Structure 1
Amino acid sequence: MKIRQLEAFRAVMLYQTVTLASEMLHISQPATTRLLADLESSLRLKLFDRVKGRLIPTVEAQTLYEEVQRSLAGVDRIARVADEIRDMRHGTLQVAAAPAIALSFLPHAISDYLKTRPEAHIALAVHSSRSVVDRVIGQRCDVGFAILSMNHASAHGERLISVRMVCALPAGHRLCALDTITPTDLAGERFVAHPRSVESRLRMDALFAAHGVEMKAQMECQLGHAICAFIEAGAGVSVIDAISAWGYRGSGVVFKPFEPSLVTDFALLTPSQRPAPLLLKPFVAHVREFAIAELGPAVLVA
């Protein structure tokens, strides 16, 4: 018993004639008749009475038809799923990402991506950049997004985007009247800074020192989103990456361009031995395009 025989049987039951069934199957009438005969032989059942050149379904054929319908519906579904996988509308992605990009930006980018792929499934896990790298090395995700400089692309890592850092000010602060903020403008201001273990903090310290400005880092926090919450609460000012700034939805923080330009690199990492899902390439392309569309001039390299 072969699937093609069952398809011929279903077609004849649906269209009542061998002629129409053959047209639906895109085969000749003799081929359809032969498939039906082979099916009867393999099942050892008489499925049709031949009356004046017509096929009349037997009671056994009517009973068998219901089961054939259910079985072939499963086969049809497998074919549809295969088409969706091939067209990159179906599948699963395991994503690991640093908080700066995972807490707000990626959920919006993923939601936008899934609008046209209702059968796809994406799992997002939030980890520190160092843990993201560990998960990628350990083959425990399909793709990782981390704050990591990638000056040279490799087979398993490249720059996703580079974004400017911006100055975050409490709404109503005196510096909100300026178009661009410089280190000199922030002299004497209380500063909410990243810890010194974070690369951007080291670059910030060096920049302020080069301008002869002492940074009054009264508070430290690793997460850009939490730094914005500090600022909204009136704790001071800060300089954070544009993605964290984009993701902050509070109304009490104003973001201004900061000069000289400081850049944060977000890296795209893939495991070396884990097979890449077909969804991965279009997903990464969508994330880049979403960043360019949403962040505009804040994106330097994509």
Structure 2
Amino acid sequence: MVEIANTGVTLRQLQIFREVVRLGSERQAAKVLRVTQSAVSQQVAQLETALGVPLFRREGNRLVATAQAWELLREIDGTFLSLDRVGKSIAALKGIEGHAIGIAAPDIFCFTLVPRAVRQIRVHDRSCVFHVKSGSYQDVAEHVLNGRADLGVSRLPLDERLFDWMPVTTATNVCLFPAGHRLAEKDLITPEDLRGEPLIDIEPRQNTHQMDLNALRYMGVEPNIAVEVDANGHEAAFIAAGVGISVTNSVVAKECALFGLRFRPFEPSAIYHYVVFWQRGRQLSGQLRLARERLADALRDSA
């Protein structure tokens, strides 16, 4: 086994330790690593001896990581994620297909867009397993960058030093509201139409927030913020509950059809460029190229 810098600690011990922390069980770690449980226990014990600190305590049948274990995991996790990325690139170069695909997408896209794409991918490969990560656009980028997802669905800008992407579609601003709302009678909605309306808005760190609020204030309308959410799509539930209305974009709004909401064009507007993206320079396998195409198809269907 490869010893790390004459420390008495091996790469294999750290790999086993990482899985035990992640799964909270020596038995589950053994299953994932395809070794015996006794081998896992032995390697963990040797690692604790080499480090001179306890890494786990037992609570019933479960292992609970100590503070020292979490500190060690933070230090080594990035290294193993990098090794995972290298392994996937090598497999792609050799034409070896994996059986798992990681997809990261904004929360709202996990209701219909991602499931549609997954269904189409599984038509070609029923053995494929999907790991779906969601969150804000920033979260999605971090999932792909850190190797927790192979492909991401997002919008520009993205850092071209870190990612490659496939342009898919564009979106413009719309006003999103419940069925039967007075705004349904209008073909085009302007800031003046929102005077006095309670708004569900994206929190201030989001660029969309500043654009929407600046447009309202430019027209002499002070925004009446009822709720701030931290990711696009979260506003849909509050709108459906009758708390308020929102300004979002047309791609997000179409995904909100699940909530029975309606939308109309809103001006002034911006253009949003949606993409499917992956780590810069990564060689995509045939399976991932198929997944990229199906995600792009699903995104176009939402445009």
Common topology (TM > 0.5): yes
Match of 1:140, SS? coil
Q: CA deviation at 1:177?
A: 0.7
Contact 1:105–1:243 (Cα < 8 Å) also in 2: no
1:194 and 1:106, CA in 2 relative to 1: closer, same or farther beyond 3 A? same
Contact 1:149–1:159 (Cα < 8 Å) also in 2: no
Q: CA deviation at 1:242?
A: 2.6
Q: Within the alignment, does 1:175 sit opposite 2:144 as a pair?
A: no
User: Could you say which residue in structure 2 is the equivalent of 1:185?
Assistant: 193
Match of 2:234, SS? helix
Give the 5 Å matches for 1:57-72: none
User: Could you say which residue in structure 2 is the equivalent of 1:201?
Assistant: 209
User: Could you say which residue in structure 1 is the equivalent of 2:116?
Assistant: 108
1:281 corresponds to which of 279, 284, 289? 289
Contact 1:150–1:265 (Cα < 8 Å) also in 2: no
Contact 2:106–2:232 (Cα < 8 Å) also in 1: no
Match of 2:108, SS? helix
Q: CA deviation at 1:200?
A: 0.8
Match of 1:255, SS? strand
**Identity, % of aligned positions:** 23
Match of 1:93, SS? strand
Range that drifts further, 256-265 or 166-175: 256-265
Structure exhibiting the larger radius of gyration computed from Cα positions: 1
2:242 corresponds to which of 219, 224, 234? 234
2:268 corresponds to which of 245, 253, 260? 260
Q: CA deviation at 1:97?
A: 2.0
1:152 and 1:273, CA in 2 relative to 1: closer, same or farther beyond 3 A? closer
Matches of 1:168 and 1:185 in 2, distance apart?
Answer: 13
User: Could you say which residue in structure 2 is the equivalent of 1:270?
Assistant: 278
Give the 5 Å matches for 1:49-88: none
Contact 1:192–1:230 (Cα < 8 Å) also in 2: yes
Unpaired runs of 5+ residues, structure 2, are: 1-93
User: Could you say which residue in structure 1 is the equivalent of 2:225?
Assistant: 217
Match of 2:157, SS? coil
Matches of 1:194 and 1:224 in 2, distance apart?
Answer: 7
Contact 2:105–2:153 (Cα < 8 Å) also in 1: yes
Matches of 2:102 and 2:202 in 1, distance apart?
Answer: 28
Aligned length: 209
Q: CA deviation at 1:237?
A: 1.3
1:273 and 1:261, CA in 2 relative to 1: closer, same or farther beyond 3 A? closer
Q: Within the alignment, does 1:98 sit opposite 2:128 as a pair?
A: no
What TM-score, normalized to structure 1? 0.60
Matches of 2:117 and 2:161 in 1, distance apart?
Answer: 23
